[in-house]
Structure 1
Amino acid sequence: MSPKPKTPPPLADRLLEWFVAPHLLESLQGDLHEEFAYQVERIGLRRARWRYWRDVLGFIRPYVIKRKKREYSTLTNTDMIRSYFTIAFRNMSRNKGYSAINIVGLSVGMAVAMLIGLWVWDELAYDKYHANYDRIARVMQHHTFNGATSTTPATPLPMRAALQNEYGNYFSHIVLSSWTEEYILACGPNKFTKKGNYVEPNFPQMFSLKMLRGTQNGLDNPTSILLSESVAKALFGGTDPLNKLVKVSNKHYLKVTGVYEDLPYNTEFRDVSFLLPWKLYIEEAPWVKRSETNWGNNSFHLLVQIAPNTSFEQVTAKIERIKARHDKEEAKFDPKAFLHPMSRWHLYSEWENGVSVRGRIQFVWLFGIIGVFVLLLACINFMNLSTARSEKRAKEVGIRKAVGSVRSQLVNQFLSESLLVTTIAFGLALLLVQLLLPWFNELADKKTVVLWSNPLFWVLAVGFTLLTGLLAGSYPALYLSGFQPVKVLKGTFRAGRFASVPRKVLVVTQFTVSITLIIGTIIIFRQIQHAKNRPIGYDRTGLLSIRMNTADLHDHYDAIRNDLLQTSAIINMAESSSPTSEVWGSDASFDWKGKDSNKLGDFGTVGITHEYGKTVGWQFKQGRDFSRGFSTDTLGIVVNESAAKFMGMKEPVGEYIKWNGKTYTIIGVIKDVVMGSPFTPIQPTIFLLDEDWASFIHVKINPHLSASEALAKIEPVFKKYNPGSPFEFKFASDEYDHKFRAEERIGHLSTVFAILAIFISCLGLFGLASFIAEQRTKEIGVRKVLGASVFNLWQLLSKDFIRLICIALLLASPIAYYFMGGWLQQYQYRADISWWIFAAAGAGVLLITLLTVSFQSLRAALMNPVKSLRSE
């Protein structure tokens, strides 16, 4: 067989022919060929060829640069951009699998970021529906008890007159409002329960309600009512509701004087479906009239709009001591009035020792950070796959540089590829957002919509896409465009032992974020379960609560109770002033023997009927329950453990307590009952007999009947004595579970984000594993021929990824411990952070990683070595 000809590389000669002038070409080629023949004899054919390449490239480079500059000077910017995207599309078409991984990962990350962006937008826009948003405030109070400051939004009724008389020039409006409560509205056959408020006449003007019919001044008349658009339609259909009569709580017929536009869901008063005149409130509730001079009765909602050229701080400084000046008895609690701006109602609503410490703003920051990190995970996938495939594009970069491409042009090329991928991903993300938005709204308790017609949305969307594209493509562009053409074309370019370090760092970053989210989610649900398992001091099973929206239920209470007992549907029934899940009243004026004069106590107060304890299932520590057999029980009280402990009574039964000019006797002590937040200590609470104070009926269902069977017997009895009202009830268990709604919502959202973070991370891991398996195909074939088992090959391909996950777990654990430990500090009754949480999160992620990587590893390990080595 004749030896191969020892000729220089033909491609190098063609480059010379392309760039060198004809009259110089022959002599130049002769010199180079002569030098090539000499080098072949001296250093060998292969090394001589690479030296020939070096000489040719070094000679033609000035010609290349000059020629390319001339060519590009004739191209328009449009032509260049078109060429960038054409090449980008071709690269995507040739690598469909990797392109799909990039597009899917980016689209999911962008969809999550957009959903979170809509959520954050909705939170930050809370209450901005009102035109006077930046000048409206709620009057609130600080009170100090035993060195601890508590904050309440409730104010005494006389404060309204004092503000008007003493500081009226600082306000444009001062408005009293009741708390939002349920009332029965009826018109002909249409009747239902809706929430509304008693307000002063200038409320609609202050909150800039958009009147669709009638006037904002309609509440001047005590027999008037303003309806929201949806309620007016429900009551009157398509007819004009103005001047029509509506029956409220089976008691008053009120004339509709106005219909206003429904308030959006992201407003403080979103549940307010109608407004009632304040004058009617005074007429029908004598206690309101009596409260006009009582500075100790904090039962009212006071809203103000400050005048122009004033500030909230300035007005607060003026009114701070108003209560202490008017009531010396209240002054011992160091009351301080202040204005809480409407802009902070929603986001900064939680107070601790007189300071606004947190609120929804913590969730805005939390979800905003999660959105950024989830999008970053998707961008990391793009970076990893692009840099991992760098060797496949090295020759392309080398040739393009050799023929004159400058680095900025290569950077633009790779960024255009990134922008093309992100543009496609953005379109897919918009589709995902539109499809997932109803589910997301239900999960997050929102009513957000994609702002298709808002120009700002599209400006942000385009900016968001460009930013994502630049972020995802920046590292690959700078990395790939930095290759040296001489090394690439000579074949001496190697990725190097440290070339994979940036990819490994990015993978560790991805899984650190994912594991942190998983650990955080587990801790959130553990805290919820810890509070749910807390002893609550009563039996919720089969316990119903019915709000007495009309006087008919209270007036016929004994008859209703007797009829229900005769049906055998219930075993007991009682009334109370508060629901089982809350304490609506409190008082600090109790006095007892041995009381420390410097010790101030704010006791929860609940008025009940005799059978309340038996109905809810009190658990007694000492003494007995109320009994109709003891006439003296009208001046008896039952206290919980916290109250007895606060008063310092070792044997409280038989002790006397003075309150409101009466002397009461403690007849029993019950185990602490969770009526407030399940995450905080139990409030000292006193229960006393007071039928006139009742607002709720509680019914204990017969345990031998199912809920549906019992309700079928209970409903007719209530309708018999209260025919003008729908029968509406709530299970005590549901009311208690409602206390965990905010935490559960955060937990569910965190779960979703953690799953998506793992999905995106594993998607990138799948692509990397696929590429590495493809890159090492021949190595695997050789190992199989030499006797390596499938397990050995699987271990070879998987161990690096497992090591990275372990590093991520080590990094994520202290991060999660620090942040979740801080989150738990806001709860006084909280779970501990156990070691198994980190172990479970790490084991779960490790298992998912192994499943992801093993698919590609086993596929490569099971490949026939004949096929993998055929090209050799």
Structure 2
Amino acid sequence: MIKNYLKTAIRNLLRNKVYSVINVLGLSIGLACGMLIILYVKDEVSYDRFHENLSSIYRIGIKTFDKDGKMDGKGGYTGYLQGPRFAANIPGIKTFVRVQSDMQDVKTGTAIKAESVHRVDSAFFSVFSFPLLSGNPATALTSPDGIVISEDMAKRQFSTTDALGKTIMMKSGDEAFKPYTVTGVAKRSPQNSSLKFNVLMPIKPSAAEEANDDNWFNFFLNTFILLQPGTDAAKVEQKIRQFYAKDAAEALKRQTEKYGPLGTVEYHLQSLPDLHLSRDYRADNGLTNASDPLYSYILSGIALFVLLIACINFVNLTIARLLKRAKEIGIRKVVGGDRRQLMMQFMGESFILSFAAFLLALIMVKLSLPVFNELANKALALQYLFDGRLVMGYILLFLATSLLAGFYPSLILSGYNPVNVLYNRFTLSGKNYLQKGLIVLQFTLASFLIIGTITIYSQFSYLTNEKLGYDDTHLVTVRHSRIPYEQTEHIRAELMKSPAVADVSFRSSGDWTTSAKVSGETSMDFVYETVDESYLPMLKVPIIKGRNFSKAFPSDSTHSVMVNEAFVKEAGWKNAIGQEVNFWYNQEKYTVIGVVKDYHYAGMAQKIGPQLFTMKHANQYGSTFIKLHSNSETAALTHIEKIFKQVFPLSPYEYTFKDVENRQRYEAEARWKQIILLSALLTIFVSCIGLFGLSVLSAERRTKEIGIRKVLGASVASVVTILSKDFLKLVIISLVLAMPVAWYAGNKWLENYPYRITLNWWLFATAAFLVSAIALATVSFHAVKAAVADPVKSLRAE
């Protein structure tokens, strides 16, 4: 019997190839989307979970409060003291590891390249589970001249992983190159690790530094602690705060006497599994791949939408196809087939289609995985899907989908009177509220996602295309650790010898933040930049009040500063020129000589904050900005490399184009634009498949009505209108339901960005037009086909 059901099911599926393909394709797309998102989310939540001591590893984080008690920052930043002081004085802490990121120049033959290194404590391998290919994890980081390198680093340096005992020449800053002995070779860090390293070096602060209580207020590295098994982390956190308040009291008193009222610090413990997706205590400062859980929520929502729409389509298309088999159902019932047998057959066909869809979905995932990895910046593999719990989930999903798609149609169709069925005198009972409800639901989901897609796409386009307020074209940046002012004129003169170079300027490296007093005793924080007189004119940043730095005024290099509009606004100045900025901690006072128009020095994702410029000669520069003439990049780059290698022969040479660097800031946004757009296209496609099936159902149900209307003189256009308007009503209802929810969700999402688009009416009108037009085009295909059909054929049985 089962064999007969199977044969009949396969025969019917092959006889209706178009419907079978569409049905399988729609469901497989939904399942493939779901599988890809499962891979993504599984990878996100699996970060750092491979460590054996996972439940006992915590990072020390801080909340900082200003002198008025207002919280002004969070982060996983500590200094030299926190790890050893807390471990030595607080019960429950077994050991600690400090992780400080650094850059070292590495010599390979005659080539010199800057390499990222991590300075860590000797307990590193007893806390974290990073296996060594060679070397003793207990002693690998105990020697001050010993280093542990990754297998990738070993292959680059020695063309083999058998590197134990070999030496690497390294140096930091202006020091001389020094040999370091390889004491261990580590396996490549797992892809889902927040801590990835190529070189590990011992962190060795001096005894004086670890005894200096003023270092309680230096925050520049990550500190991890390992708790004793069974220790309550909340109690340890409380003891940390109590110990800090007592141990740092004298140092805090000295700092307050020297600098005035200071803010406070509150310590927190962050569990290692929370590190990757934390929005407050991010995985940075030497840690990598920090992510936002919002992306996982968005992708999970998209996957759920697409899968739900695909299942709705499956039900509707199954009903549409089974209606064409009404006579078969009638004959089976006349010759003795009971309802249970008919339901078994229809359920069998549903299971076959679902199984085919699952197989096709796996093929789709396999083929699309490289593209998805590139878009999501992941290294996912298909075998990640075959986790025990995930496989069980797939089986449940398979059973639920098959039952959902097969049970309702088989229940309805197997219950009809055979006489009515054989004479085509039947319709689906009632007002078909289920089918209409399903189509409203799927187009509500599709409309919501389309509006969301337009919102996200518009915001990301705004971030990537909006002007930053300065000219970054044909601008080359060369970074170097230290360039004293006395050396800049020589470098400028040498670079300007090339006709391809238009101008040269210098700026401090990185983004430094400090504080000073303005308007008496008011203290404020700001970005502090050391520049020369050519920097702002080269970037074409307008000076809206006062003047630029100039060598004609010697005091500009000792007592003058420039500020941006945000600085003036926060300081509360009506006229900034002549105002005083007091760096009380080093007894230096400066006078404001110019106000610079605000520009996005840190990109569009960050609000423009107060910014101060100085031309203080005692400060060293770290970046050289070189403006090139257009169409001369090749000649200019050759000349620039030659000069820098002459001036700094023992330092690596690397350059970037500023406009390329700015675009790279938004690589994640650009990838998400593509992911969201692709998701919307898939949703539209899958929704239209469902609408296509429903239009077939309508045309089949109203065949005789259409024939009678045509006999009575109805035109093709009027018939098409009659068949289409019911579906358009459902689509309009869907839009009405989706728009308020999409508006609320869009505004909540946009609150994450300081610079954002406004959700205008045209955005919703565009979405409504797209949804309506696509729905109408889909429905019209079968409406036109039914309208032009010969009415004689449809009325023959009458």
List gaps (5 residues or longer) in structure 1: 1-78, 353-357
User: Could you tell me which amino acid in structure 1 is paired with residue 99 of structure 2?
Assistant: S
User: 1:849-864 residue pairs with structure 2 within 5 A?
Assistant: 849-863=775-789
1:643 counterpart residue number:
567
2:106 is aligned with 1:178: no
Distance change in 2, residues 1:573/1:749 (3 Å): same
1:463 Cα offset (Å): 3.6
Distance change in 2, residues 1:149/1:553 (3 Å): closer
Asked whether the equivalents of residues 444 and 735 of structure 2 are also in contact (C-alpha less than 8 Å), the reply is yes
1:117 Cα offset (Å): 0.7
2:554 counterpart residue number:
631
Distance change in 2, residues 1:576/1:91 (3 Å): same
Q: Distance in 2 between matches of 1:440 and 1:209?
A: 28
Q: Distance in 1 between matches of 2:485 and 2:339?
A: 85
Report the number of matched residues: 771
Asked whether the equivalents of residues 576 and 612 of structure 1 are also in contact (C-alpha less than 8 Å), the reply is yes
Distance change in 2, residues 1:184/1:613 (3 Å): same
Distance change in 2, residues 1:422/1:785 (3 Å): same
Q: TM-score, normalised by structure 2?
A: 0.88
Distance change in 2, residues 1:437/1:213 (3 Å): same
Match of 1:664 among 586, 589, 595: 589
Q: Distance in 2 between matches of 1:150 and 1:160?
A: 21
Q: Distance in 1 between matches of 2:168 and 2:487?
A: 24
Q: Distance in 1 between matches of 2:386 and 2:21?
A: 31
2:264 is aligned with 1:341: no
Q: Distance in 2 between matches of 1:693 and 1:315?
A: 42
1:317 counterpart residue number:
238
Q: Distance in 2 between matches of 1:391 and 1:377?
A: 21
Q: Distance in 2 between matches of 1:403 and 1:757?
A: 44
1:645 Cα offset (Å): 2.2
2:292 counterpart residue number:
360
Q: Distance in 2 between matches of 1:864 and 1:397?
A: 26
1:421 counterpart residue number:
353
2:584 is aligned with 1:653: no
Q: Deviations 1:583-638 (Å, cap 9, x if unpaired)?
A: 2x3234x2234334xxx533232334454333433322322233333332223322
User: 1:484-523 residue pairs with structure 2 within 5 A?
Assistant: 488=421, 493-496=426-429, 498-499=431-432, 501-523=433-455
Match of 1:820 among 727, 738, 746: 746
2:497 alignment partner, SS class: helix
Asked whether the equivalents of residues 63 and 71 of structure 2 are also in contact (C-alpha less than 8 Å), the reply is no
1:625 alignment partner, SS class: coil
2:505 counterpart residue number:
574
2:662 is aligned with 1:741: no
> 639-648 vs 259-268, which deviates more?
639-648
User: Could you tell me which amino acid in structure 1 is paired with residue 274 of structure 2?
Assistant: R
User: 1:118-197 residue pairs with structure 2 within 5 A?
Assistant: 118-145=39-66, 146=68, 147-167=70-90, 169-179=91-101, 181-188=102-109, 192-197=113-118
1:756 counterpart residue number:
682
1:734 alignment partner, SS class: helix
1:506 Cα offset (Å): 1.2
Asked whether the equivalents of residues 478 and 624 of structure 2 are also in contact (C-alpha less than 8 Å), the reply is yes
User: Could you tell me which amino acid in structure 1 is paired with residue 717 of structure 2?
Assistant: F
Asked whether the equivalents of residues 701 and 710 of structure 1 are also in contact (C-alpha less than 8 Å), the reply is no
Distance change in 2, residues 1:693/1:483 (3 Å): farther
1:308 counterpart residue number:
229
Q: Distance in 1 between matches of 2:431 and 2:533?
A: 80
1:336 alignment partner, SS class: strand
Asked whether the equivalents of residues 106 and 379 of structure 1 are also in contact (C-alpha less than 8 Å), the reply is yes
2:142 counterpart residue number:
220
Asked whether the equivalents of residues 305 and 446 of structure 2 are also in contact (C-alpha less than 8 Å), the reply is no
Match of 1:701 among 614, 627, 631: 627
1:155 alignment partner, SS class: coil
Identity of matched residues, %: 35
1:150 alignment partner, SS class: strand
2:309 counterpart residue number:
377
User: Could you tell me which amino acid in structure 2 is paired with residue 526 of structure 1?
Assistant: S
User: Could you tell me which amino acid in structure 2 is paired with residue 241 of structure 1?
Assistant: A
1:560 counterpart residue number:
491
Q: Distance in 2 between matches of 1:610 and 1:173?
A: 51
Q: Distance in 1 between matches of 2:486 and 2:356?
A: 68
Asked whether the equivalents of residues 326 and 424 of structure 2 are also in contact (C-alpha less than 8 Å), the reply is no
Q: Distance in 2 between matches of 1:406 and 1:866?
A: 34
2:769 alignment partner, SS class: helix
Q: Distance in 1 between matches of 2:181 and 2:735?
A: 66
1:350 alignment partner, SS class: coil
Q: Distance in 2 between matches of 1:621 and 1:542?
A: 25
User: Could you tell me which amino acid in structure 2 is paired with residue 388 of structure 1?
Assistant: A
Q: Deviations 1:119-143 (Å, cap 9, x if unpaired)?
A: 1111110111322222222211111
Q: Distance in 2 between matches of 1:377 and 1:202?
A: 52
2:162 is aligned with 1:240: yes
1:527 counterpart residue number:
459
Distance change in 2, residues 1:498/1:866 (3 Å): closer
Distance change in 2, residues 1:443/1:752 (3 Å): same
Asked whether the equivalents of residues 477 and 626 of structure 2 are also in contact (C-alpha less than 8 Å), the reply is no
Asked whether the equivalents of residues 514 and 528 of structure 2 are also in contact (C-alpha less than 8 Å), the reply is yes
2:537 is aligned with 1:604: no
2:199 counterpart residue number:
274
User: Could you tell me which amino acid in structure 1 is paired with residue 493 of structure 2?
Assistant: N
2:225 is aligned with 1:293: no
Q: Distance in 1 between matches of 2:696 and 2:620?
A: 70
Q: Deviations 1:813-868 (Å, cap 9, x if unpaired)?
A: 11111211111122333321111111101111222223323333333444455666
2:383 alignment partner, SS class: coil
Match of 2:656 among 719, 730, 749: 730
Asked whether the equivalents of residues 484 and 621 of structure 2 are also in contact (C-alpha less than 8 Å), the reply is no
RMSD of aligned Cα (Å) = 3.2
1:708 Cα offset (Å): 3.9
Q: Distance in 2 between matches of 1:695 and 1:208?
A: 40
1:444 Cα offset (Å): 0.6
Distance change in 2, residues 1:446/1:382 (3 Å): same
1:165 Cα offset (Å): 3.2
Distance change in 2, residues 1:153/1:688 (3 Å): farther
Q: Distance in 1 between matches of 2:322 and 2:570?
A: 72
Q: TM-score, normalised by structure 1?
A: 0.81
Q: Distance in 1 between matches of 2:685 and 2:345?
A: 29
Distance change in 2, residues 1:557/1:239 (3 Å): farther
> 292-301 vs 125-134, which deviates more?
292-301
User: 1:404-415 residue pairs with structure 2 within 5 A?
Assistant: 409-415=341-347
Asked whether the equivalents of residues 101 and 764 of structure 1 are also in contact (C-alpha less than 8 Å), the reply is no
User: Could you tell me which amino acid in structure 1 is paired with residue 132 of structure 2?
Assistant: M
> 627-636 vs 438-447, which deviates more?
627-636
Distance change in 2, residues 1:696/1:415 (3 Å): farther
Asked whether the equivalents of residues 315 and 404 of structure 2 are also in contact (C-alpha less than 8 Å), the reply is no
User: Could you tell me which amino acid in structure 1 is paired with residue 575 of structure 2?
Assistant: E
User: Could you tell me which amino acid in structure 1 is paired with residue 559 of structure 2?
Assistant: L
Distance change in 2, residues 1:861/1:731 (3 Å): same
2:460 alignment partner, SS class: helix
List gaps (5 residues or longer) in structure 2: 283-289
